[in-house]
Structure 1
Amino acid sequence: MKLTLFALTFLISSFAFSQEKIVWSDSYKVSFNDFQSRESEVNSDLSSYTLHSGSIIEVDLTMSNFEFMVKKDFNNRVKSILDQRLALLAAPDTLTAKKLVALAQYDFDLSELYARKIRKEFYEKKGTFSDVKLFQDIYEKYNRELVEKISIIFKATSTEENDVFLQNEHTKVLEEISRLSDFCFDCKVPKKKKNRKKG
Structure 2
Amino acid sequence: MKKIITILFLLVAVQINAQNTIEWDGIYQLQLSDFQSVATQIGNVKINSIHTASSLDFAFQMSNVEFMFTKNFNSKVSCIFKRDAASIIATDSSTANYLVNFAQYEFDLSELYARKLRKEIYMQKGTFSDVSFLQVIYNTIEKQYTDEHATASKITDLGQNEKKLLEIRADILKRIQEYPDFCKSCKPPKKKS
TM score, norm. by length of structure 1: 0.85
* Corresponding residue for residue 101 of structure 1: 100
Aligned-pair CA distance for 1:123 = 0.3
Aligned-pair CA distance for 1:41 = 1.8
**CA deviations over 1:31-75 (Å, ceiling 9, x no partner):** 1111111011211x2112110011111101211111111000010
Question: For 1:184 and 1:69, how far apart are their aligned partners in 2?
Answer: 22
* Corresponding residue for residue 86 of structure 1: 85
Cα contact 2:101–2:159 (8 A) shared by 1: no
* Corresponding residue for residue 42 of structure 2: 42
Question: For 1:73 and 1:140, how far apart are their aligned partners in 2?
Answer: 19
Give the letter for the 1:36 counterpart: Q
Aligned-pair CA distance for 1:170 = 0.5
Where 2:134 maps in the other structure, the secondary structure is helix
**CA deviations over 1:170-195 (Å, ceiling 9, x no partner):** 0110000011011001111122456x
Number of corresponding residues = 178
Question: For 1:171 and 1:53, how far apart are their aligned partners in 2?
Answer: 19
Cα contact 2:30–2:100 (8 A) shared by 1: yes
Unpaired segments of 5 or more residues in structure 2? 1-13
Aligned-pair CA distance for 1:160 = 8.7
1:189 aligns with 2:184: no
* Corresponding residue for residue 156 of structure 1: 155
**CA deviations over 1:105-150 (Å, ceiling 9, x no partner):** 0000000000000000100000011122111100000101111111
Where 2:78 maps in the other structure, the secondary structure is strand
Moved over 6 A (4+): none
Question: For 2:65 and 2:23, how far apart are their aligned partners in 1?
Answer: 28
* Corresponding residue for residue 116 of structure 1: 115
Question: For 1:85 and 1:62, how far apart are their aligned partners in 2?
Answer: 26
Cα contact 2:102–2:159 (8 A) shared by 1: no
Question: For 1:62 and 1:81, how far apart are their aligned partners in 2?
Answer: 19
Where 1:132 maps in the other structure, the secondary structure is coil
Question: For 2:113 and 2:158, how far apart are their aligned partners in 1?
Answer: 25
* Corresponding residue for residue 6 of structure 2: none
Unpaired segments of 5 or more residues in structure 1? 1-15, 195-199
Percentage of pairs with the same residue:
39
Give the letter for the 1:35 counterpart: F
1:31 aligns with 2:65: no
Give the letter for the 1:137 counterpart: V
* Corresponding residue for residue 69 of structure 1: 68
* Corresponding residue for residue 8 of structure 2: none
Question: For 1:158 and 1:73, how far apart are their aligned partners in 2?
Answer: 38
Question: For 2:129 and 2:138, how far apart are their aligned partners in 1?
Answer: 15
Question: For 1:165 and 1:190, how far apart are their aligned partners in 2?
Answer: 36
1:132 aligns with 2:122: no
